[in-house]
Structure 1
Amino acid sequence: LNAGFANYTYNQNKKLHRFLTKNAFLNLGHPFQPFILGQKNLAPRLSVLLDIPLVIFGENEAEYGNAIEDNEKPTRDSKYYSAEVSIKDLVLGGVSAQELIDKHQFKLSDLEAYFPTSPYEIEKTGMEVHYLGYYVKWHPQDVYYYSVENTDFMPNDHRTEGSFSKYSSLDDKIDWLHYHTTTIKFGIGRATYDSAQEIRNGDITREEGVALIKRFDGEFPQQYIKDCCEYMDITLQEYHDAIEKFRSPHLWDKVNGIWQLKKPIWKEKI
């Protein structure tokens, strides 16, 4: 905010966002869904309202596992933020938008920040979403140093749980739960994402990355678990009970009462 640019700041209905986060976790094992939907959909929606035809995001999601061919073009496919759908077809956090309005008394205007923008409005404005990472070499460590030197960005003063970094994905306390649920569902966590990117960028070797994954991946998010449970209005036991519903049986075995990956990367032969 102190970098020398005028800006619009949007504050969502906090009661709604809290409700959606809880239900996204309990119903989908995905507590970060409301945050991501707002993050991806709000900027295109504002661009249409303000008649601004260009929206710029940072790096392409292909950096984190989306189709690698997405990196071959500068724009985000409009299917990620634009659709012509009825409110009866929209579901947030596993709850239909119609139910959110009729049963839970939320307003349509509060929900719209999470909705895709109409293709007609996109076409009328001529709006496109571009990735800065297509035009500027996207090296996370370099971006981190630039941010520290030119903005008010501050890293953690300690290692982030589940990984070895201090600056990646610190947007929200729910980030910690997001990566923990990702580990449960897919067998890969924050250290896997961070290591894979640093290996590709030549910052560490594959052997170093595998060692970091073995040491830190899947670490329980102890630092913020109490805050997150209070935010979602659930107990810690309810958190554990809910998350086990999403543990993928083809990825995990319970050995002497402890869940272990069936095929961890450090046991893979290359």
Structure 2
Amino acid sequence: MTCRDDTAIHTVEKDGRTYVDGPSGGLLEVKYGLPPAVAFCRRCVISNQRPSSSVEFKHTKDSKKTTIHFDEDGICDACRYAEQKNHGVDWEQRRAWLSELCDRYRSRNGSYDCLVPGSGGKDSIYAAMILKNDYDMHPLTVTWAPHLYTDVGWHNHQAWIHTGGFDNFLFTPDGQIHRKLTQQAFRNLLHPFQPFIFGQKNYAPKMALKMGIPLVFYGENEAEYGNAVKDNARATRDRSYFASAIQSNETLYFGGVPMEELRSHGILPGQMDPYMPADADALADAEVDVHYLGYYLNWVPQECYYYSSEHVGFLANEDRTEGTYSKYNSIDDKTDPYHYWTTLVKFGIGRATYDASQEIRNEHITREEGVALVNRYDQEFPRKYFPEFLDYLDMCEDEFFEIADSFRSPHLWKKTAGVWQLRHCVTNPGDVDA
């Protein structure tokens, strides 16, 4: 057993696990490799517990998370990049680079010259429409289907294709296999959205290979929200997120289970092809590059929403989205609310925190307003689609919460009078009567 001082927090390493001293004596475990000392950005409302995007097919229950970086002034990388983006990037030059890129690939006969993945949400509509209307490109759109389409999500997907005017490949994976993988991801990782993320990251590059389209455009870089800020210095996506040298002996994990063990869950290796990463060597040979359109254009989610509403009739939710105050973000999948809620359980960061942090960085609300919104909505449980989600997971409510509660990190959560409470919150960074 070893001890160390981490940001003025006394930590203990024991049996491969990290603990911090509890306020009333005893030790509190710190799960997932998270920072033992909880801190909140002084500019937005994100905490230093926010996990960065990771390579999903390497994700196991023992994986340690890389988290958002705070500088010596207590400002997160996402806010520092927003500062640069709003005041230090020559967007005219970036747009010129985009024009040059499109000039190299643009077809003259209307055939596909780029590929845009998406669900028909505000961002994918904006990306495809801008490339078509402003840069005279001819995008093929591709969609990896949500787990369970919402009515408004399906409307928006159809509006994207029919009103926007695009060809689209909609791939819907085997429902039984997708459901089994989701169940395993929930039980082993508390990450029910993982099967969708596999396709979200992998499907477009694989379709680019199949269709012979070397130019792929995603929307904004994940680094805008807290991945390593250095990732924003490049226009292209790191292939490690969606590709692998298939011939290698690397063990791939799905739902926290090694691929070879999926047989015990009734899934054969050949049935996993849709979820497999793209072949890195084939991508390199075909010179397929995945670009972030947000590198070239100043990406503002609200502006994408307004643009998509005006040009194709994109609809927001009629009511406020549970767990937050917005209506237009991530609304196409009935499992989406539980992706955000499980993030709250594991990392103490809910949906309102993500929305408010983004809007603070884009100078739409103040930090004080963001704090109030987080306090009001962040811990709200999403009830609307809960019966359907339980049915999809094939479990009862008691089992659902028993599994979820087992993933709470004790350094973040305490239970008082039968109610789970965060030990740290953005309005009071210290213990809440812990």
Same fold (TM over 0.5): yes
CA distance in 1, matches of 2:224, 2:334: 22
TM-score (norm 1): 0.94
**Alignment partner of 1:31 out of 187, 192, 195:** 192
Q: Give the conservation status (yes or no) of the 8 Å contact 1:56–1:129.
A: yes
CA distance in 2, matches of 1:177, 1:8: 27
CA distance in 2, matches of 1:167, 1:176: 13
Gaps of 5+ in 2: 1-160
Query: The residue matched to 1:168 in structure 2 has which SS?
Result: coil
Q: Which amino acid aligns with 1:95?
A: V
Q: Which amino acid aligns with 1:168?
A: N
The corresponding residue for 1:99 is 261
> Are 1:221 and 2:378 an aligned pair?
no
Deviations along 1:203-259, one digit per CA (max 9) or x if unpaired, are 000000011000000211111111111011111111101101100110112223221
Number of corresponding residues: 268
Superposition deviation, residue 120 in structure 1: 0.9
The corresponding residue for 2:339 is 178
CA distance in 1, matches of 2:211, 2:269: 20
Superposition deviation, residue 87 in structure 1: 7.5
* RMSD, matched Cα: 1.6
The corresponding residue for 2:68 is none
Superposition deviation, residue 75 in structure 1: 0.9
Deviations along 1:49-89, one digit per CA (max 9) or x if unpaired, are 22211111111111332122222211111111111245771
The corresponding residue for 1:165 is 326
**Alignment partner of 1:249 out of 410, 418, 427:** 410
> Are 1:153 and 2:349 an aligned pair?
no
Q: Which amino acid aligns with 1:76?
A: R
Q: Which amino acid aligns with 2:333?
A: D
CA distance in 1, matches of 2:390, 2:415: 25
Q: Which amino acid aligns with 2:237?
A: R
Query: The residue matched to 1:222 in structure 2 has which SS?
Result: coil
> Are 1:144 and 2:335 an aligned pair?
no
Percent identity between the aligned chains?
49
Query: The residue matched to 1:9 in structure 2 has which SS?
Result: strand
Q: Give the conservation status (yes or no) of the 8 Å contact 1:45–1:113.
A: no
CA distance in 2, matches of 1:187, 1:43: 32
- Identify, as 1 or 2, the structure richer in helix: 1
Q: Any residues of structure 2 matched to 1:1-270 within 5 Å, and which? A: 1-2=161-162, 3-85=164-246, 89-100=251-262, 102-268=263-429
The corresponding residue for 2:22 is none
Q: Give the conservation status (yes or no) of the 8 Å contact 2:180–2:265.
A: no
Rg larger in 1 or in 2?
A: 2
Q: Give the conservation status (yes or no) of the 8 Å contact 2:243–2:277.
A: yes
Stretch deviating more after TM superposition (198-207 or 173-182):
173-182
CA distance in 2, matches of 1:99, 1:253: 35
Gaps of 5+ in 1: none
CA distance in 2, matches of 1:205, 1:129: 34
Query: The residue matched to 1:266 in structure 2 has which SS?
Result: coil
Q: Which amino acid aligns with 1:78?
A: R
Q: Give the conservation status (yes or no) of the 8 Å contact 1:88–1:96.
A: no
CA distance in 2, matches of 1:242, 1:260: 17
